[in-house]
Each structure stands twice: as C-alpha cells, then as structure tokens.
C-alpha cells in the first residue's frame, strides 16, 4: 500500500518495553473481496475516496506446517474475500485469528509487510471496524513475540544483546499520513471458511494494534504480502502466490488469493516478466518492482523516454505493482503523454473532475445514463511481456462523468501499478523465480 510520491514517509518506529510454512506441498487459499461503495454511491465519489486513501497510505523462516482442523497436514487453505463496501478502494481477505478463532477482514496489500489487526482494549484512538475486536486475553494461543525473535521489529535495537526480562516490542508504523501502533505478538491464524477447507498456522508474527488513524474503514487491519520477512508470504514460505481481482464496480462477486504450490497460471495468453531487484534499504526493499519500457494506446506507441520508469541507484524512480493502491500513478513525463493521447481520441467536452473524482482528465457524457464511446486498449510494455488493458481498466465512468483512471506524480518519484488496472487479470507472483506472470480472465467466474 504505497503512496507513490510520499513513499519516504513510510516508516516504522520501534522500541523495547520490559515488564513459515515449510511443507512444499501445502498452500493457502484465501477469498478476495473488493472494498466497494454501497448502493447509490456514485463512481466519482468511490474514486475520490480511493485516491484520498492512496495519498494517505505510503507507506528466518520456521519449520511450521499448515495443519487442518483435524491436525493433519493440509494441501490447500481457503478464506473468502470481498469488496470494501463502505469505501471502494481496496480488496479484503478474510482470515481468523486466535483460539477460538475470531474472523476479521483485512486489506490484502502487496506494498507492505506487517500483518496487523486492532486489539482490545482499544480506546478513543481506534477506528470503527465491521468485526469484533480481537482480544489476546481471550485466546489460548496468543503470546508476546520475544524481542530477540528473528521476526521481531526490535531485534536490531538489541544488537545481539540478550533482551531484558519481560521485553515487548512496541511499534508505530506510518503509511504516509495513516498509521497504526501496538505490540508485536505471535498467534495461530486460521484460513478457510468451511470446516473441511480450514487450515491453522501457529506462530504467525503480527501486530496487535491498540491505536490507529481513522483511515481503514471496511477492514479490521491489513495483511502485508510484500517481500520482507514479516509478510504473510514470507512467514508461510509460500514461494508463490496469485490473485484475480474482480471488476471494480462489481459489488457481489468474490475472487481468490492462493499462497503456495496451488498458485499457478496455465493455458494460453500467459505472459511473464522478471522482477527488478529491490533496493536493500527499507521501505523500498518491500516492493515488487517491474521494468516498464513503454506504453501504447491502440497501435500507437507513445513517445515516452525508455528510462522514464528506471529504478535509480539511490532507490528513487522505478515502478511497483501494488494491490493496496487503487489508481495507477505515472511519473509526470509519461503521464502527460498518456493524457494527451487519450484526450486526442475523445470528442466529448472535457470538464474539471478534480473536485468530484480527484482525477485530472474527465469528460462529460451526454447524460448520466449514457454509455462511454469505444476506446482502444492500452498496452503496458514490460520486459518480455505486454499487459493489455481494455478501456474499462484505464477509464472509469459514473454519474455522467468519464475519466482517465490514472494520475501523475513528480518526476523521479516511484510509479505504481494500482489494482484498478489489475481488475480482470489473473496475476501470479513467483517469489522464488523472481517473476510476475499474468493473463486476462473473468475473475468473477473463477
């Protein structure tokens, strides 16, 4: 969940307070649901709220095995996912924490690492959430994560020294202007909704937050799927994971997040591109960088400099793919070329949509019920793979307004491929092979 131009503000403050999935045959299956506006909420407000959140949030493996409800090894784990009904910006995955397990929805975010949820007691600095608060005192499997654990955010502060007796690692993680704070714990997480489909994973390190900014409506926390050791992907030792994001304005369908060997893409139309090595410095080390060489609209290649999206030696620039950001942002030099190309193909009058949508290029449709005109597909040219976006994946309409669902940022800042452009795309992250694969799909039918 990056904030593109505000990435430098993604930070973690930790301080001491005193007082993986090892089985190569197992995998985790999690349902995904999009955070979505309720009936009667116009698409323009949905996008405006999503953009606001985008700007506000950026931002040693064990030998454990997944265990099914009867204690035997499980080959697949599933949990339903759904859209964020109040807001419309992110996709939620549903999982359960503790013993007995308490189900809660969390934002699925490939742009961060920490897994966290709000914990009781939680006072005035907690946001309202749709699920009951998790109370560690009510779980028989909760433990404070030892400060010298390889998964402790405080292990660096110890510098190899033994931790003080009763040590607890407190954190304050900031995503742009959004933040969450609490203590690191260890807990059993349960995946899957049906009894026959459930799998329990003990000893997952997570954040037990008792104070957060009020910017997480529709969820009860966040699940980091990034490249760091604290992410769910790394803690499960999953190796690869995949998802298929349902259409942005589909309020009913769910899709699936798979972690482990079951995550795969088969058939025709699959394209693959290598990840670019991430900078070693946090937070850039968390992100999945891609090498974007150019953009075409229809058959026309846009005159964008080939190094516009290059990742610099100092960690600036580059382009990441992020499931926790809604609207794609492009370095300004590239965005202006895209904007001009789209504008040249549309004969509708332009209107100022910045107030209603937060987007820069908008057109007025003849009426609120008018269908937008036909537009050619947009192609993102990655190393060895072209990602073809139909018009519905780069334009958005609603309430008589039709807008380019992209935004610009200062040259030199990081570009982000958001989840709006990932809709109806089956995407596979192969962490071990360092590749991203994708294929067009009807995600609401999978």
Residue in this structure with the two tokens 């933040």, named with its chain if needed: 179
The mean pLDDT of 113-121, rounded to a whole number, is 95
The reported pLDDT for the residue numbered 49 is: 59
The reported pLDDT for the residue numbered 58 is: 47
**CATH number at 271-440:** 2.40.70.10
Q: Where are the beta strands (DSSP E) in 69-220?
A: 81-83, 91-97, 102-109, 116-118, 143-144, 168-175, 178-191, 199-212
Give the confidence band of 116 by pLDDT, cuts at 50, 70, 90.
Answer: very high
The reported pLDDT for the residue numbered 41 is: 54
- Tell me what the pLDDT averaged over the chain comes to: 83
Give me the helices (H) in 172-301, please: 232-236
The mean pLDDT of 200-215, rounded to a whole number, is 92
Q: Where are the beta strands (DSSP E) in 11-83?
A: 11-17, 28-34, 67-68, 81-83
Residue 112 and residue 92: Cα distance in Å, rounded?
Answer: 15
Query: Which is it for the CA torsion 316, 320, 326, 328, positive or negative?
Result: positive
The reported pLDDT for the residue numbered 331 is: 95
The mean pLDDT of 246-252, rounded to a whole number, is 81
Annotation: CATH topology of 4-259: Cathepsin D, subunit A; domain 1 (2.40.70)
The reported pLDDT for the residue numbered 94 is: 87
Q: Which residues are marked as active site?
A: 109, 322
Q: Which of 11-20, 186-195, 309-318, 354-363 has the lowest mean pLDDT?
A: 11-20
Residue 155 and residue 167: Cα distance in Å, rounded?
Answer: 11
* Model pTM above 0.85: yes
Give the confidence band of 358 by pLDDT, cuts at 50, 70, 90.
Answer: confident
Query: Which is it for the CA torsion 419, 422, 423, 428, positive or negative?
Result: negative
The mean pLDDT of 233-245, rounded to a whole number, is 91
The reported pLDDT for the residue numbered 74 is: 35
CB half-sphere exposure, 273, CA atoms < 13 A: 21
The mean pLDDT of 336-355, rounded to a whole number, is 94
What percent of the chain has a predicted confidence (pLDDT) above 70?
A: 80
The mean pLDDT of 231-242, rounded to a whole number, is 92
The mean pLDDT of 164-180, rounded to a whole number, is 84
The mean pLDDT of 317-337, rounded to a whole number, is 94
CB–CB of 54/11 below 8 Å?
no
Give the confidence band of 82 by pLDDT, cuts at 50, 70, 90.
Answer: very low
Stretch(es) of the chain classified as CATH 2.40.70.10: 4-259, 271-440
**Does 326 have pLDDT greater than 80?**
yes
The reported pLDDT for the residue numbered 250 is: 80
CB–CB of 80/193 below 8 Å?
yes
Q: Tell me which residue of 43, 132, 131 sits closest to 87, measured CA to CA.
A: 43
Give the confidence band of 292 by pLDDT, cuts at 50, 70, 90.
Answer: very high
What is the DSSP annotation of 372-433? PPP---EEEEETTEEEEE-GGGTEEEETTEEEESEEEE-TTSPEEE-STTTBTEEEEEETTT
The reported pLDDT for the residue numbered 4 is: 36
- How does pLDDT run across 366-408, given as a tens digit for each residue? 998 999 999 999 999 999 999 999 999 999 988 899 999 999 9
**Does 337 have pLDDT greater than 80?**
yes
């Amino acid at each position: 969940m990056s904030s593109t131009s505000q990435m430098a503000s993604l930070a973690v403050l930790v301080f001491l307070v005193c007082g993986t999935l090892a089985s190569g045959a197992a995998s985790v299956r999690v349902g995904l649901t999009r955070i979505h506006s309720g009936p009667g909420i116009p698409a323009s407000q949905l996008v405006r709220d999503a953009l606001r959140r985008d700007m506000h949030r950026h931002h040693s493996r064990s030998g454990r095995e997944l265990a099914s409800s009867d204690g035997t090894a499980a080959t697949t784990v599933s949990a339903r996912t759904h859209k964020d009904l109040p807001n419309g910006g992110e996709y939620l995955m549903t999982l359960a924490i503790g013993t007995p397990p308490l189900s809660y929805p969390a934002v699925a975010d490939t742009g961060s690492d920490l897994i966290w949820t709000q914990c009781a007691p939680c006072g005035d600095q907690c946001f309202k959430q749709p699920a009951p608060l998790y109370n560690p005192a009510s779980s028989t499997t909760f433990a404070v994560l030892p400060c010298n654990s390889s998964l402790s955010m405080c292990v660096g502060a110890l510098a190899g020294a033994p931790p003080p007796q009763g040590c607890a690692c407190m954190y304050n993680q900031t995503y742009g202007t959004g933040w969450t704070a609490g203590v690191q714990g260890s807990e059993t997480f349960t995946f899957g909704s049906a009894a026959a489909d459930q799998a329990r994973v003990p000893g997952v390190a997570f954040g037990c937050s008792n104070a957060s900014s009020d910017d997480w409506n529709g969820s009860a926390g966040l699940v980091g799927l990034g490249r760091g050791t604290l992410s769910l992907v790394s803690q499960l030792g999953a190796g690869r994971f995949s998802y298929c994001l349902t259409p942005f304005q589909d309020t009913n369908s769910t899709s699936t997040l798979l972690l482990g060997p079951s995550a795969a893409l088969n058939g025709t139309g699959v394209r693959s591109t290598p990840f670019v090595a991430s900078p070693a410095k946090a937070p850039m080390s968390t992100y999945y960088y891609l090498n974007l060489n150019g953009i075409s609209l229809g058959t026309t290649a846009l005159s964008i400099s080939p190094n516009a999206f290059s990742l610099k030696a100092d960690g600036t620039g580059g382009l990441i793919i992020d499931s926790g950001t809604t609207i794609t942002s492009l370095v300004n030099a590239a965005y202006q070329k895209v904007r001009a190309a789209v504008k040249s193909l549309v004969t509708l009058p332009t209107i100022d949509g910045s107030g209603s949508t937060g987007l820069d290029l908008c057109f007025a449709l003849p009426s609120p019920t008018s269908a937008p005109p036909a537009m050619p597909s947009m192609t993102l040219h990655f190393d060895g793979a072209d990602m073809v976006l139909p018009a519905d994946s780069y334009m958005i309409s609603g309430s008589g307004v039709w807008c380019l669902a992209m935004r610009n940022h200062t040259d030199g800042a990081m570009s982000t491929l958001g989840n709006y452009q990932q809709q109806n795309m089956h995407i596979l992250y192969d962490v071990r092979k360092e590749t991203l694969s994708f294929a067009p799909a009807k995600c609401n039918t999978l």
